Amino acid sequence: MSTETIDPRYIDVDQWPTALAVEAMLEGQLAAIAAVGSQTMAIARAAEAAAERLGAQGRLVYVGAGTSGRIAVQDGVELYPTYNWPQERLGFLMAGGLAALTEAAEGAEDDADAARAEIAAARLGAQDVVIGVAASGRTPYTVAAIAAAREAGALTIGIANNHHTVLPESAHHGLVAETGTEIVAGSTRMKAGTAQKAMLNLLSTAIMLRMGLVYRGRMVNMRISNDKLRLRGQAMVRDIAGVDLTRAGRALDAAEQDIKLAVLIAMGATADEARQLLLTHRQQLPLAMGALQRKG
C-alpha cells in the first residue's frame, strides 16, 4: 500500500533542519488536498444519493478505526450544532468503542465479528446511510461493517486512500484520494488524514445542502445555543424575510428559535401553518416560502 511505503526522499528527515522538515510536511498537506480534486463528482453523487435515502427519518452512521475513526467521528459530531441534525439520527461505530477516541484499542481494528454485531444491533434499514473510513481501504472492522450495512439495505459510502482496495469497491459509493507515501512512513494522520477530513467535510456539507438545511449560503437549520448564535439567527430571519430586526426577534421567539419556522412566521404565517408548509415541502425553505407567497 502506498500509504505504508517508505519514501526515499524522506529517509533522513529526522536529521533535517526543523524548518525544512516543516516545509516538506506542508507540501504534503497541499498534495493531500490536491488528491481530493479527482473525487468531486463522486462525492456529489454520493451526497445526492445519501440525501435521497435519509429523507425525514434516516440515520447517518460513521464507521472507522484508529485515526480514520477519530476523523470520521469529528465530522459527524459537528452536524448537530452546525445544522441541528438530530442526535438520534447520528450513529458512530468505532473499533474498540468510543473510548478508543482517546485511548488506543490494540487489535480492535481486526475484529470483523464485532463490527458485524454492532451493525446488527443498530438495526439499519433502507433509509440509513453508513460511511466507512479507512486509509488502507482494507481495515477488517470497517470493511465488515460496510458489508453488513449494505446487506441490511443501507446505502454505503467507503472512503480510502488506496485505489483498488476492498472498502471503496464494496461500498455503493467509493471515494478514493490517493495520497501516496507519508513523510513518516505509515503515519496516516498526516496526508491521508487531511484528505479524509476534506472528503468528509465536502460530503456531509453537500448532504446538508441537499437536505434543505442551507438557504442562500446561510445555516438556516443551525441550533441556537447561545447569545451569539441568537443574534446570528435573528439577522438571518431579518435578511431572508425582509423584515426589521425587532420583528425577526419576535418571530424567532414564536418559532422557539427555529430559524426556518421563524422566516415563515415573519412573512405572515402562523406557527402551525409554517410547520405544515415545511413538512409539505420536505423542509425546503424556498419551496415553503414560495407556497406561502402564492397563498398570500
For Cα atoms 66, 67, 72, give the angle at the middle one, nearest 5 degrees.
100
118 is catalytic: no
H-type alpha helices, 37-96: 40-54, 66-77, 79-83
Q: Can you tell me the distance from the alpha carbon of 192 to that of 150, in angstroms, rounded to the nearest whole number?
A: 25
- Out of 4, 78, 169, 273, which one is annotated catalytic? 78
Indicate the SS3 state at residue 146.
helix
State the amino acid at position 109 in one-letter form: E
Residue 67 half-sphere exposure toward CB, CA atoms < 13 A: 17
- Residue 185's φ and ψ, nearest 5 degrees, are -50, 130
End-to-end CA distance of the chain: 62
- H/E element, 21: helix 18-36
Sign of the torsion angle spanned by Cα atoms 260, 262, 265, 266: negative
A 10 A CB-CB count for 239 gives: 14
129-134 vs 90-94, strand pairing mode: unpaired
Question: Catalytic amino acids?
Answer: 78, 109
